[in-house]
Chains A and B, each alone.
Chain A
Amino acid sequence: MTGIILLILVSLLIFFGMAHRVLDRLYLSDRGGLIFIGAMIVGSFIDIPLSRMPIISVNIGGAVLPLILAIYVLVRAGSVKEWIRSIIGIVLTTGVLYGVNKLYSFDTSRGFIEPQYLWAIIAGVIAYVAGRSRRLAFVIATIGVLAMDIVHILEVRGTNVPTMIGGGGVFDTMVIAAVLAVLLAEMIGESREALQGGPSNDRPEELKEALDHPEGTTNSDTWEHNGKEREK
């Protein structure tokens, strides 16, 4: 059994390590990230029934907590432009996910990529193109997969098919797609910047200001200021 236990342990550590790295990008401190992961694990065991006919339930760890975080990130977006980009990204992703789900024939016999990875790629790429943002990747992957659950509720109305939103807990597609989408957006962004020789300077002034002074900090708190202090 040692091999199996080790395999499971390492897989979990890698997955939660990646999740923690992602949470680190979403306005959460290290401790906050760990608490959030802990809450998601505990929440994975709690399903809240929403409706009996059709059967709809929602899982705390796999849906409610990621959704709360996504909304929090969206609300804290720095500028109006970011808001608009976020909303366009979400609408675009939901539309593309719906279309791909209907067109992409996946089965043991058909398909070229695991769908769970495909949803993450779609969310990660659209998030980067629409908003050049890892945060947006998290938001649109979470809300995009959730939107597909809502589409599913409408599709199966009048039947006995249940919809367990986020029922997979920490291993639900909503969580895995969001984590992978953020990492993908990060890889695309960092690699692109490295290839073009550094970040571009054509950012809007409003965004620069919002990024330079997050959470109402003053000039003296900024990284540039601290950097200069350190150089001294």
Chain B
Amino acid sequence: MKRLGYLFYFSILFLLITLLFITNNVFAETELSEKYMTLQDQQGKLITCTVHQIVVGDEYLDSQNNLYRVVKLHNNTAIVKLVRKEKLTASTLSELKDLWSYFINGEFLKGETKVKGPIAIYHTHSDESYIPGDGTSSKFGHGGIFQVGDSLTNAFEKSGIPVVHSKTPHDPHDAMAYDRSRRTAVQLLKRQPTTLLDVHRDAVPPQLYSDVIRNQGVTKVQLVVGRQNPNFQANNDFAKRIKETCDRKYPGFIKGIFYGKGKYNQDLGPRSILLEFGSDTNSKTAAERGAQIFAAAAKDVLYGNRGAGFINRGSMRSLFWIIAALVAGVGLFFLINRGSFKNFGKELTGAMGEGENKKTEEGPLADDKAKENDHSHQKN
């Protein structure tokens, strides 16, 4: 039995060490912009390039709303197949409901919107900069990304939308940067914002983000949604709604939606999103113009009532999955520990019976329960 125990510990340590080694053996602060991957379809057509670590099964929604899934990896090339063409538009029923609430709330008659919280902007990677403009891709504590945030702020404010722009630095650019920016995000949440935006830039070849709008060079915008996130469905629907709204005004301006592996603090609210304004190889001026275009195109969904029904459905789906995961997790835990669902059922009815007794004889049984808890600690 003792040998089994040692084997168990050894396995856990082995797992931990393996985990350490499968992570990138580079310091997190260094960005390897030259090491990007090319996504192409089975006919060899270029879909996009990314510095994202790609694994089979990853998905990418391009500017034309084609959802691709990675099926094969070969060196720096990921072969993708088209899963489906996504329909980003909300259903007619949802649009009618939005319109109905618009009339019912009296906003149409009053000609003004209700007082809402501001749009909150922060930068997890406060060092991110643009080589053409800042001279470097990373400036410790005061990256060029702050000016892109300023540009976004000014554009919203010009439309009469209040903004809180936090320039709190979260350097160094390591794995704990999101833990530090989480504190800034929570501070911003105390201002009851309508939307929480984490503004970044990417690190891929410039042509992937270059665009021309109104005869001026601008950078496109990529939206990032975290998959390891209890709010995934709601955040994803929010991202789709932003894309759909921008597509109506500037088709192709939203480069796509990338589904990343973390949660990027998006678990803090259904209306939080990560935005990437261009790449480190695009000019900062173009990124600033991109921010203005984005603010003008997306303000209705970021601040207005537009899309409330759509996001609501995402929240309901998230709610369903959270509860389903919870029930499945608890079920599995009891199944492993109690041997069968029959025993689990017995325990459950026993516990409920105890609960009823507890109401009548709370004193002595509560003491017993406390002692039982003490005993269960022995298992530690």
Contact = CB atoms under 8 A, between A and B. Distances in A.
Contact of A3 (B315, B333, B368): B315
A6 B178 contact: no
A191 B229 CA distance: 26
Given A115-B175, A167-B187, A199-B378, A173 B182 contact: yes
Contacts of B314: 3
A7 B271 CA distance: 12
A36 interface: no
Q: B interface, how many residues as a size bin?
A: 35 or more
Contact of A191 (B171, B175, B336): B336
Contacts of B333: 187, 190
Contacts of A155: 172
B276 A108 contact: yes
B318 A7 contact: yes
Contacts of B269: 8
Contacts of A152: 176, 180
B308 A103 contact: no
A101 B319 contact: no
Contact of A103 (B23, B260, B319, B379): B23
B264 A200 contact: no
B374 to A, nearest CB: 6
Given A111-B261, A114-B228, A172 B12 contact: no
B374 A129 contact: no
A64 to B, nearest CB: 14
26 contacts: A4-B234, A4-B270, A4-B311, A10-B322, A14-B322, A44-B186, A45-B190, A104-B175, A105-B27, A106-B174, A108-B276, A112-B53, A112-B261, A116-B179, A117-B228, A129-B12, A145-B179, A161-B141, A161-B169, A172-B182, A173-B179, A173-B182, A189-B379, A190-B333, A200-B5, A211-B378
A16 interface: no
- Most-contacted residue by chain A among B15, B50, B274, B380 (CB, 10 A): B380
Given A104-B24, A109-B203, A113-B228, 17 more contacts: A2-B312, A7-B322, A11-B267, A11-B322, A99-B20, A101-B174, A101-B176, A106-B178, A112-B22, A115-B175, A116-B179, A129-B12, A152-B176, A159-B169, A164-B183, A189-B379, A190-B379
Contact of A25 (B28, B311, B315, B377): B377
Interface in A84-119: 96, 99-119
B268 interface: yes
A160 interface: yes
Contact of B370 (A29, A128, A190): A29
The 6 tightest CB contacts between A and B, nearest first, are: A167-B183, A3-B315, A223-B375, A3-B312, A105-B24, A173-B179
A133 interface: yes
A34 interface: no
A70 to B, nearest CB: 16
A193 interface: yes
Interface string B299-339: 00000000010011111101100110010000001001111
A194 interface: yes
B16 interface: yes
Given A105-B23, A114-B228, A115-B176, A162 B168 contact: yes
B8 interface: yes
Contacts of B169: 159-162
A223 B371 contact: yes
B34 interface: no
Contact of B182 (A103, A171, A190, A211): A171
Interface residues of A, number: 89
Contact of A109 (B53, B229, B338): B53
B1 to A, nearest CB: 6
A7 B378 contact: no
Contacts of A145: 179
A160 B190 contact: no
Given A112-B53, A115-B262, A194-B336, A105 B26 contact: yes
B352 to A, nearest CB: 17
- Most-contacted residue by chain B among A10, A107, A128 (CB, 10 A): A107
A226 interface: yes
A202 interface: yes
Contact of B12 (A128, A194, A196): A128
B371 A101 contact: no
A43 interface: no
B71 interface: no
Contacts of B270: 4, 7-8
A123 to B, nearest CB: 11
A1 B314 CA distance: 11
Interface in A174-218: 187-196, 199-200, 202, 208, 211-212, 214
B336 A102 contact: no
B326 to A, nearest CB: 6
A169 interface: yes
A106 B180 contact: no
B319 A6 contact: yes
Nearest to B172: A155
Nearest to B53: A110
A119 B274 CA distance: 22
A40 B312 CA distance: 30
